[in-house]
Amino acid sequence: MTRTGRTGAIAAAAIICVTLFGARATGAWAETATEIAPPPIAIEPAAADAPRFYAEEVVQPLPESNLSDAASLAELVLTMPAEAPLSRDLLCLAQAIYFEARGEPLDGQLAVGAVIVNRTTSGRYPSDYCSVVTQPGQFSFVHGGHIPSPDERSPAWTRARAIAQIAHQDLWQSSAGEALYFHARYVRPGWARTKVKLAAIDSHVFYR
């Protein structure tokens, strides 16, 4: 064999070896990569009732009706801030309680306040206390849409202010419940026959 022939044979053999070795190396890498790569993880959607976790603390406010730990309505009245300024709306509520029921027991005063509060959420009456109280033909102490001034130095006014705050915040359950109407015992209005009687407290009768 000539020198040129041997050189060609050696070159051809080298090409075959490189080709075979390169093919095995590629296959080996693919196999290694297959072993190292982690299998896919299936992530299922959370069930609707599964517990959820939050990074921050979630604090839910207690219902206002659970805010009082007082043993009685009288005790709760004493805990209310006597000198706290009242909004115009709360002032109208306190004035209505004062003029309608200042001589009543505390439960009777609260019931009067509850009627006014209930009316504002009933959809049948105005949505604020002042408009409910001054609505024509509703409260006898109102004249020409004007509410008279109470004796602000009297204990009765202090109690009325406290009861107004209690009724507004729903801090104590009234015996009148969801009453929307009331009248004095000494009168017998015709409309009372069409209403559901809920309670009679001292000199007032309450209806829904």
**Alpha-carbon span 166 to 152, nearest angstrom:** 19
Whether residue 78 is found in the same domain as residue 176? yes
- For residue 167, give the nearest of 123, 203, 132 by alpha carbon: 132
Whether residue 33 is found in the same domain as residue 72? no
Residue bearing tokens 């009288």: 74
Whether residue 20 is found in the same domain as residue 105? no
- For residue 208, give the nearest of 101, 144, 115 by alpha carbon: 115
Neighbours of 70 (CB within 10 A): 16
Whether residue 22 is found in the same domain as residue 121? no
What is residue 83's predicted lDDT score, i.e. its pLDDT? 84
Neighbours of 178 (CB within 10 A): 14
* C-alpha gyration radius of the chain: 41
What is residue 176's predicted lDDT score, i.e. its pLDDT? 95
Whether residue 102 is found in the same domain as residue 193? yes
* Domain CATH number, residue 75: 1.10.10.2520
Q: Is residue 107 part of a domain?
A: yes
Q: Is residue 55 part of a domain?
A: no
**Alpha-carbon span 182 to 201, nearest angstrom:** 10
Overall domain count for the chain: 2
Q: Is residue 165 part of a domain?
A: yes
Helix locations, the chain, DSSP H: 3-36, 73-79, 88-101, 106-122, 129-133, 155-169
What is residue 84's predicted lDDT score, i.e. its pLDDT? 86
User: Do 177 and 197 contact (CB within 8 A), yes or no?
Assistant: no
Q: Is residue 57 part of a domain?
A: no
What is residue 156's predicted lDDT score, i.e. its pLDDT? 98
What does each C-alpha distance from 104 to 76, 87, 110, 112, 160 come to in angstroms? 17, 24, 9, 10, 11
What does each C-alpha distance from 29 to 18, 24, 32, 33 come to in angstroms? 16, 9, 5, 6
Q: What is the tens place of the pLDDT at every residue in 73-127? A: 999 999 999 888 999 999 999 999 999 999 999 999 999 999 999 999 999 999 9
What is residue 68's predicted lDDT score, i.e. its pLDDT? 66
Whether residue 73 is found in the same domain as residue 32? no
Whether residue 10 is found in the same domain as residue 73? no
Q: Is residue 45 part of a domain?
A: no
Query: pTM above the 0.75 mark?
Result: no
What is residue 191's predicted lDDT score, i.e. its pLDDT? 95
Q: Is residue 139 part of a domain?
A: yes
Range of the structural domain that residue 25 is part of: 1-40
Whether residue 116 is found in the same domain as residue 182? yes
Helix, strand, or coil (residue 207): strand
Q: Can you count the helices (H) and strands (E) in the chain? A: 6, 3
Q: pLDDT per position in the chain (208 positions), as tens?
A: 544 444 444 444 444 333 433 434 333 333 333 333 444 433 333 333 333 333 333 333 334 443 568 999 999 999 999 888 999 999 999 999 999 999 999 999 999 999 999 999 999 999 999 999 999 999 999 999 999 999 999 999 999 999 999 999 999 999 999 999 999 999 999 999 999 999 999 999 999 9
Q: Is residue 23 part of a domain?
A: yes
Q: Is residue 129 part of a domain?
A: yes
